[in-house]
Amino acid sequence: MTRSRMVGAVLALALAAAGCGAGDSVDVDGAGDTGGKGAGGTLNAAIGGEPDQLDPHRTSAYYSFQVLENVYDTLVEPGPDLRMGPSLATKWTTSADQLTWTFTLREGVRFSDGSPLTSEDVVYSYERIISEKLNQSYRFETVKSVTAPDPTTVVVALTKPTPNLLASLGGFKGVAIVEKSNVESGAIKTRPVGSGPFAVAGYTSGDSIQLTRNDNYWGPKPTLDGVRFTFVKDPTVALQNLRGGEVQWTDNLPPQQVAALKENGGDVTVESRSSTDYWYLALNEGRKPYDDVNVRRAIAFALDREAIAKAAKFGQATVNQTAIPKGSSWHFEYAPYRHDPAQARQLLGQAGVSGLTLDLMVTTEYPETVSAAQVIAAQLKDVGITVKIRTLDFAQWLDEQGRGAFDAFLLGWLGNIDPDEFYYAQHRTGATFNFHKYSNPAVDRLLDAGRTETDPAARKRTYDQAAKQIVDDASYIYLYNPDVVQGWSKQVTGYQVRSDRAIRFRDVALDR
């Protein structure tokens, strides 16, 4: 069934509501200002590590995207509720057959170096990702061509209907619009040029990245003069920096202190929000006895998720038995597994399994997997399963995962928006990240259908069915959605914690 839907009309309303008029902001510069709100200043932010590089199409590190979020724009971008809204594109229409999307670009947008950003730059950026097979090229699987009939129009032609195209083109800054000359000179690695609210002004390797306000920005001008990101690996040290006033913002807080800081942080505000990340236990179905659904279900019944979340995240998480958290419009309420060791033992008996030893692989890259593993080992001991925990560094962990050399592993998937991102690559037979060798033809059919179903209600039903089957089969045993936890000093105003972990400083002011 195809129903032409004029998304543009809806968007026009959204735009009117958002009062999107570029360049109508009053520029409050520091001249003659005696301090107080909007007096500019530089915000110091401590992040947990250093970006590997600043080319948005080539990096995969969250540290890079924390910086690049403030430097680059995408065609569309997720709002606070993660619905895709306008950014460089102000409106878009879809053809009746759903195979052609036409985007209208904002007029007069400039890169931070002053050169104009046109539809040619959008075409260049997408073609770079596709032709060089860069990290995000999988998002363009159904894209046949990207063309620029005029400077403010971009046409994306598809091989089949792609209802999640907006999430693919704007979910995060990995699909940002870059400047050709900046790419060709190689400067993009350390001095990227974007059209976002701030521009990279300096980069001291190993120490910090300095951003300054982009005066060519098309949106409301940021009040901050700049943002300085420093790289502090140790959360205790990062918190000391925040308390001592060396930094005014950090997301690297010691988890065991978060609850106390929220209660009584003194000069520090700590806020958290449920994230769209999920953490899970995967059992290797390519190995006996984990190919038996009863064994997997037994393990799902043996786990006490509350205790696991408490140990791993000190309560900074919400337990969940499916992937998509409450609060997302794609959430499906389904929790068939209560903590029931008797039921677990009975299922193991049914499967004829006794005296099982399970090899569980975790990584120091994500310390929460190490703590969760200890608790899981204790809980599984209750039902007669001996857990051998293997703690590896991440590079080695990835190797073992790729080779299928594990009985079970713990990990999370981060920054998901569309349900396809939550389920397809992990549970479709033979998909890229289906390392645990799950295969169910019914689920395959549902996941394939969800990719092309354009009616939102029907699409929701499809993913609900897929989610239910995946949980019943215990393909992944879902554990919890962690909170995004960030802290900032009382001087910072206008900052909002976002569930997709995007760090946006464009609306932030600093009282000095």
Partner 1 sequence: MTRFVLRRLLQSVVVLFGVTLVVFLLLQLVPGDPVRVALGTRFDQQTYDALRERSGLDRPLVAQYLSYVGHALTGDLGVSFRSGQPVTTIVLERLPATLSLAVTAVLLALLVAFPLGVLSAVRSGSALDHAARVFSQFGVSVPDFWMGIMGILLFAGVLGWLPPSGYVALTEDPARWASHVVLPATAVGLVTASILTRFIRSSVLEVLAEDYVRTAEAKGLRARIVVVRHVLRNALIPVVTVVAVQLASLVGGVIVIEVLFAWPGVGRLTYDAVQARDYPVLQGAVLFVAALFLLMNLLVDVLYARLDPRIGLR
Q: By C-beta, is 58 or 213 nearer to partner 1?
A: 58
Q: Count of CB atoms within 10 A of residue 234's CB?
A: 11
The two tokens of residue 345 are 């033992």
Provide Rg for the chain, Cα atoms.
Answer: 24
Residue 301 CB, nearest approach to partner 1 (Å): 28
Residue 390 CB, nearest approach to partner 1 (Å): 12
Residue with tokens 């928006």: 417
Q: By C-beta, is 256 or 350 nearer to partner 1?
A: 256
Q: By C-beta, is 4 or 138 nearer to partner 1?
A: 138
Q: Count of CB atoms within 10 A of residue 475's CB?
A: 25
Residue 208 CB, nearest approach to partner 1 (Å): 8
Strand pairing category for 226-231 and 208-213: antiparallel
Q: By C-beta, is 47 or 105 nearer to partner 1?
A: 47
Residue 56 CB, nearest approach to partner 1 (Å): 13
Binding flags for partner 1, 226-265, as an x/- string (CB under 8 A): ----xxxxx-xx--xx-xx-x-------------------
Phi-psi region of 32 (alpha: psi -120 to 50; beta: other; left: phi over 0): left
Q: Hey, which residues between 329 and 358 contact partner 1 (CB under 8 A)? A: none
Q: Whose CA is closest to 162, among 420, 424, 464, 479?
A: 420
Q: What is the DSSP track for 358-415? A: EEEEEETTSHHHHHHHHHHHHHHHTTTEEEEEEEE-HHHHHHHHHHT--SEEEEEE-S
Q: Whose CA is closest to 85, among 129, 20, 4?
A: 20
Q: By C-beta, is 105 or 411 nearer to partner 1?
A: 411
Contacts with partner 1 by CB under 8 A: the residue count is 48
Q: Whose CA is closest to 135, among 80, 173, 188?
A: 173
Residue 34 CB, nearest approach to partner 1 (Å): 27
The phi, psi pair for 484, rounded to 5°, reads -85, 120
Task: Return the amino acid letter for 480.
Answer: Y
Q: Which residues contact 68 (CB under 8 A, 6 or more apart)?
A: 51, 54, 56, 59, 173, 176, 192, 194
Q: Hey, which residues between 157 and 186 contact partner 1 (CB under 8 A)? A: 186
Interface region with partner 1, contact rule CB under 8 A, candidates 399-407, 470-478, 479-487, 500-508: 399-407
What H or E segment, with its residue span, contains residue 121? helix 119-131
Residue 222 CB, nearest approach to partner 1 (Å): 24
Interface region with partner 1, contact rule CB under 8 A, candidates 50-58, 93-101, 287-295, 487-495: 50-58
Q: By C-beta, is 136 or 321 nearer to partner 1?
A: 136
Q: Hey, which residues between 53 and 82 contact partner 1 (CB under 8 A)? A: 53, 55, 58, 60-61
What is the rounded distance in angstroms from the CA atom of residue 321 to the CA atom of residue 338? Answer: 10
Q: By C-beta, is 232 or 446 nearer to partner 1?
A: 232
Q: Whose CA is closest to 33, among 199, 225, 213?
A: 225
Binding flags for partner 1, 412-451, as an x/- string (CB under 8 A): -xx----------x------xx------------------
Is 205 one of the binding residues for partner 1 (CB under 8 A)?
yes
Interface region with partner 1, contact rule CB under 8 A, candidates 49-57, 88-96, 353-361, 381-389: 49-57
Q: What is the DSSP track for 290-343? A: TTSHHHHHHHHHH--HHHHHHHHHTT-EEE-SSSSPTTSTT----------HHH
Beta-bridged to residue 482, according to DSSP, are 317
Residue 347 CB, nearest approach to partner 1 (Å): 31
Residue 62 CB, nearest approach to partner 1 (Å): 8
Q: By C-beta, is 97 or 234 nearer to partner 1?
A: 234
Q: Count of CB atoms within 10 A of residue 455's CB?
A: 14
Q: By C-beta, is 83 or 233 nearer to partner 1?
A: 233
Pick one of 394, 442, 448, 458: the residue that binds partner 1 (CB under 8 A).
394
Q: By C-beta, is 430 or 441 nearer to partner 1?
A: 430
Binding flags for partner 1, 122-161, as an x/- string (CB under 8 A): ----------xxxxxxx-----------------------
Task: Answer for the pair 61, 51: CB distance below 8 angstroms, yes or no.
Answer: yes
Q: Whose CA is closest to 5, among 508, 457, 474, 386?
A: 457
Q: Which residues contact 161 (CB under 8 A, 6 or more apart)?
A: 2, 97, 98, 99, 452, 453, 454
Residue 419 CB, nearest approach to partner 1 (Å): 15
Q: By C-beta, is 228 or 305 nearer to partner 1?
A: 228
Residue 207 CB, nearest approach to partner 1 (Å): 4
Residues of this chain that interact with partner 1 (CB under 8 A) are: 49-50, 52-53, 55, 58, 60-61, 132-138, 186, 189-190, 204-207, 230-234, 236-237, 240-241, 243-244, 246, 365, 393-396, 398-400, 402, 413-414, 425, 432-433
